Amino acid sequence: MATQSPFSMLESFFKEGAARLTPPPWAVEESHRRLVLLLNHILMQEPQARARLVRHKGRKLLSQWQNFSFKVVVTPAGLLDLAPSKVPVDLTLTLSESSPWSLAQGLFKGEKPAVRIEGDVQLAAEVNWLADHVRWDIEEDISRIVGDAPAHIMVQTCRNMLSALKTFVMQKRPSTGHDKPTESAA
């Protein structure tokens, strides 16, 4: 008897739920504003990243995945701001992976997700550089609030929990009986 993985059930629930449950426009806009604030906070810690973005001031970037989209414009300061929804974009980045489970697995492996790129090649190269080189030093931010030692303990605990989750996620899924047999070299 074949058993179904609980992850496939969660995946189908996500697909069906995402189609039926759409947040109100004000909640989407507010979440986009919060995301822009976070991205700008991270960019403020990296002068080289801002200097690279300044060259693209006024350019608009659209990121999409399934029904979710996020449109920003590069400011003259090398930061980001929400772009008006009706303006054409210079670069569109679309995540190709439709399964949230597969997307999470790839991210846990440290892989970049597959992205379809349309538009300005130079802006796409800068976004790729940002993805490769800019990191959020969350421990530094937490230490400003609670101090260095507690911040280090909190971040280390989170890293250990993520490591355990990664180990769990990366374990081989139980066979459902529908898998193709693998050929072995004789």
Distance from C-alpha of 80 to C-alpha of 63, rounded to nearest angstrom? 13
For residue 48, is pLDDT > 60? yes
Q: What is the pLDDT of residue 101?
A: 75
- Looking at the structure, tell me whether residues 74 and 95 fall in a common domain: yes
Instruction: Between 117 and 113, name the one with better pLDDT.
Output: 117
- Looking at the structure, tell me whether residues 130 and 161 fall in a common domain: no
Q: What is the pLDDT of residue 163?
A: 82
Count of residues in the chain: 186
In this prediction, residue 12 has a pLDDT band, given cuts at 50, 70 and 90, of low
Number of domains in the chain: 2
- Looking at the structure, tell me whether residues 52 and 96 fall in a common domain: yes
CATH at residue 29: 3.30.1050
Average pLDDT over residues 17-35: 83
Q: Which of 69, 13, 15, 75 is nearest to 50 (CA)?
A: 75
Q: Which domain holds residue 31?
A: 23-136
Average pLDDT over residues 65-93: 92
* pTM of this prediction exceeds 0.75: no
- Looking at the structure, tell me whether residues 141 and 121 fall in a common domain: no
Percent of all residues in the chain with a pLDDT value above 70, rounded to a whole number? 80
Q: What is the pLDDT of residue 185?
A: 46
Is residue 17 in a domain?
Answer: no
- Looking at the structure, tell me whether residues 128 and 164 fall in a common domain: no
- Classify each residue of 123-138 as buried b or exposed e, where b means 16 or more C-beta atoms within 10 Å of its C-beta: bbebbeebeeeeeeee
For residue 43, is pLDDT > 90? yes
Is residue 4 in a domain?
Answer: no
Is residue 183 in a domain?
Answer: no
